[in-house]
Amino acid sequence: MTRNLAPATRDSGPERPPAPPPRENPAPGRPRRLVPRPLKPIGLLFGPVVVVGVWELAATAGWLSPRQLAAPSVAVRTGAEMLFDGELLPHLGASAQRAYLALAIGIVAGLVLALLSGLSRIGEASIDGLVQIKRAIPTLALIPLAILWLGIGEEMKVAVIAASVFVPIYLNTHAALRGIDLRHVELARSVGLGRAEFVRRVALPGALPGFFTGLRLSVTMCWTALVVLEQINATEGIGYLMTKARDYGQTDVIVVGLVIYAILGLASDFAVRLIERKALSWRKTIGS
Amino acid sequence: MTGTTAPAVRTEGLTRRYGGRVVLDDVGLRIAPGEFVALIGRSGSGKSTLLRALARLDDYVDGSGTVSVPDNRSVLFQDSRLLPWDRVLDNVTLGLRGPGAEARGKAALADVGLAGRERAWPNALSGGEQQRVALARSLVREPDLLLADEPFGALDALTRLRMHALLLELVAAHRPAVLLVTHDVDEALALADRVLVLEAGKVVLDHAVDLPRPRQHATPELAVAREELLRGLGVGAGLDIGGAREPGPVTA
């Protein structure tokens, strides 16, 4: 976008004639870029800003009826009002509590199962097949059974979210444990590590990158699962707010709910990435 | 050099097979305490198989024979094999027990010239530095037997020469028995008390190198030994392989 078409004029000496119009090679001595330059983080906002701009334009021009979709500016005003009159926070709190409680349960379950399955044959024989089957069943298909077993209260919601959240944690941690470098196993034997020490010094640190991959998937997943569940017999929560707004045709409230989900998902992912970068600081990767 | 004391390493009728193919064929090996033995041979001659048998890292390999090695032994691998998530000092003291482990680790790092790098991540070190950490990890245990599997194969020539000197110095201080697997005749002659040539799973040549160290590269004695070893390796005599009287360049 900001490619300088005639950089030769800048770094060429006085003896060189004015740069001819560039054709095949834009500048002698400066190789053509085959890969784009790295994007600054703020550059990622370009797409979203354009979309919101077009959306606002369409709304103010009257192409978009408020019954179909409220303008972003209206949604912002509604969101601010809801925040300041204290309507929003209890819903947000209720949702966050569900999501993070379920996430915590899912992390522990996924991790424990992955360790059992990744570090013992009998564990793998008993656990891995079951998790693979569970993985093939969509979480939402479990809701009817979950309602029959646990009712329509909080327990059911937390249980269903936890049941979907543990899967990526398990899969990625397990795969990382199975993929432990055999050379490291050999090293552990040659320096005489016992089993417990091997797990603590070699297996777990080696599986940590896999665990974090799973955690990032799970963190966004717990919010996704929440949307559907909060439409079942909830009296508070972002999902409840949005269901109610649908009944009254308040598209601005629906947009507020969507934005909150997006913010929570992105913020959670960001937090996990921060922790990950700290925990895996030994890695020298291109991305860091 | 081989006195009447019990050998540090002793194998009887050591045979190893991979998928029916005999890789080690009835090898009887003795290494005296404190003796430095180099094992050379071409790729596929069974060098690494023999080393792994002595390291007792081959329990799923088909074979027979007895191996008697000290319990306190270290392996120096071709790759430095550091745990990337542990800092340098933690790598050195991996598996080291008892109080003073940390102090011993620091001393071992100082021995290989890496004092002050205790808190570095392995990925931040150069290849030669990583292999020095691995050397420190091997020697901090004060092993009775050091098994080295082409430990300098991946290093550049200059770094390798420096590592040779360092290894000799440390081996002289700790006096372990050493089995160094290498495919480099010059490396074997520069370092070892005795050079074995392995060919098709058998020791076909056992050559004592009774020369003082540090060894100059181009002495006539070494050139004669070199030619004999190369003949043992099946590299025909008459090949120009760096003549005796040529003060030629170091080709380690």
The model's pLDDT over B82-133, given as tens digits with 9 standing for 90+, comes to 999 999 999 999 988 888 899 999 999 998 899 999 999 999 898 889 999 9
Q: Which helix (H) or strand (E) holds B39?
A: strand B36-40
Q: Which residues of A touch B95 (CB under 8 A)?
A: 188, 191-193, 197
Rounded to whole angstroms, how far apart are CA atoms B200 and A267? 63
Most confident of A186-190, A227-231, B226-230: A186-190
Closest CB from B55, B74, B83 relative to A184: B83
| Residue whose C-alpha is closest to residue A165's, from A258, A264, A82, A99 | A99
pLDDT tens for A181-202 read 989 999 999 998 999 999 999 9
- Lowest model confidence (mean pLDDT) among A224-233, A245-254, B12-21, B139-148: A224-233
Task: Please tell me whether residue B12 adopts helix, strand or coil conformation.
Answer: strand
Average the pLDDT over A55-64 and give the result: 90
Average the pLDDT over A248-276 and give the result: 89
**What pTM value is reported for the model?**
0.75
Strand B21-27 and strand B9-18: pairing? antiparallel
Average the pLDDT over A208-232 and give the result: 88
Distance of alpha carbon B211 from the chain centroid: 19
Total residues found in chain A within this entry: 288
Average the pLDDT over B229-238 and give the result: 74
**Contact call for B94 and A283, based on CB within 8 A:** no
**Contact call for A282 and B74, based on CB within 8 A:** no
Residues 6+ apart with CB under 8 A from B143: B70, B72, B73, B74, B174, B176
| Residue whose C-alpha is closest to residue A177's, from A253, A115, A130 | A115
Q: Is A202 on the interface with B (CB under 8 A)?
A: yes
Q: Cβ–Cβ contacts within 10 Å for residue A200, how many? A: 12
Q: What is the reported pLDDT for A27?
A: 57
Q: What is the reported pLDDT for A139?
A: 81
pLDDT tens for B64-88 read 999 999 999 999 999 999 999 999 9
Strand B21-27 and strand B62-68: pairing? unpaired
Q: Which helix (H) or strand (E) holds A135?
A: helix A121-136
Closest-CA distance, B85 to chain A, in angstroms, reads 5
Q: Is A184 on the interface with B (CB under 8 A)?
A: yes
User: Looking at the predicted structure, is the pLDDT value of residue B50 above 50?
Assistant: yes
Q: What is the reported pLDDT for B4?
A: 57
Residue identified by tokens 């809701």 is A143
Closest-CA distance, B49 to chain A, in angstroms, reads 14
Rounded to whole angstroms, how far apart are CA atoms B109 and B129? 10
Instruction: Tell me whether the omega of the peptide bond preceding residue B249 falls within 30 degrees of 0, making it cis.
Output: no
Q: Is B137 on the interface with A (CB under 8 A)?
A: yes
Q: Which helix (H) or strand (E) holds B61?
A: none
